[in-house]
Amino acid sequence: MLGLLETGSGFWSAIIWIVVVLVIGSIVIYIRNKGEDSYKKNTEQDKPFISGNPEKSKENSHLSASHIYWGLTEALKGYYNPLVKMHTGNINDYSGWIIVITAIILIMVGVSG
């Protein structure tokens, strides 16, 4: 069958996947279109809930890249601090890494026989 990729443990077909997504998507859209009985248009239900804070202007409400995943990087400080420190931007360090890795590989290849 065209589009059927044998993976060694099974198969993958993007065509079948798309058909399945379309079927499931149609069911979801059908359920959504049936609507929610308790919903009333043009009432306070339409207003966004922002935890009682005053609403910012649209232009100021954009979350910039530095703030995204702040919590993740803060939690992984122990991992990130030495890793970032490693990236010195100094060409001497770049060359040093090449020498260190070359030495390790030479030993591994030499010892392993």
Partner 1 sequence: MNLSNHIPILIIAIPLLAAFLVPLIGRINKKATGILTTLALSVSLILTIVLAVKILTVGPQVYVFGATSPSLTLPSGLKFPIRIMLQIDAMGIFMGLITAVVSFVGAVYSLIFMKQHSGLDKYYSLLLLLTVGVFGMEFTGDVFNFFVFLEIASIASVALISFRGIDLGEPAEAGFKYMVVSSISALVVLFAVGIFYGQYDLLNFAALASVIKYSQLDKIALGLLIPVLAMKAGAVPMHMWTPDAYSEAPAPITMMLVAASQASLYALFRVVFSLYNISLNVLTVGWIIIIFGLLSMFIGVTMAIIQKDIKRLMAYHAISQTGYMFLGVGVGLAVLANPVALNQYGITAMEGGIFHIMNHAMYKGLLFLTAGALFFRTGTKNLDKMGGLAHSMKYTTIFFIIGAAAIAGLPPFNGFASKILIYESVYRFNPLLSIIAMVVSILTLASFVKVFHSAFLGPKLPQFKEVKEVPRSMVFAMAVLSCIIIFFGLFPDLIVKNLVHPAVMSLIEQFKYTGTVLGGM
Q: Return residues touching partner 1 (CB under 8 A).
A: 2-10, 12, 14-15, 17-18, 58-59, 61-66, 68-69, 72-73, 76, 79-80, 83-84, 86-87, 89, 91, 93-95, 97-98, 101-102, 105-106, 108-110, 112-113
* Residue 68 tokens, joined: 């995204």
* Residue 49 tokens, joined: 């809930």
Measured from the CB atom, the residue of 26 and 73 that comes closer to partner 1 is 73
State the DSSP string of 24-93.
HHHHHHHHHHH--TT--TTSGGGS---TTPPPPPGGGGPPPGGGTTHHHHHHTHHHHHHHHHH----HHH
| CA pair distance 60, 19, nearest whole angstrom | 41
- Give me the least distance between CB of 36 and partner 1, in Å please: 26
Measured from the CB atom, the residue of 45 and 84 that comes closer to partner 1 is 84
Measured from the CB atom, the residue of 45 and 105 that comes closer to partner 1 is 105
- Give me the least distance between CB of 26 and partner 1, in Å please: 17
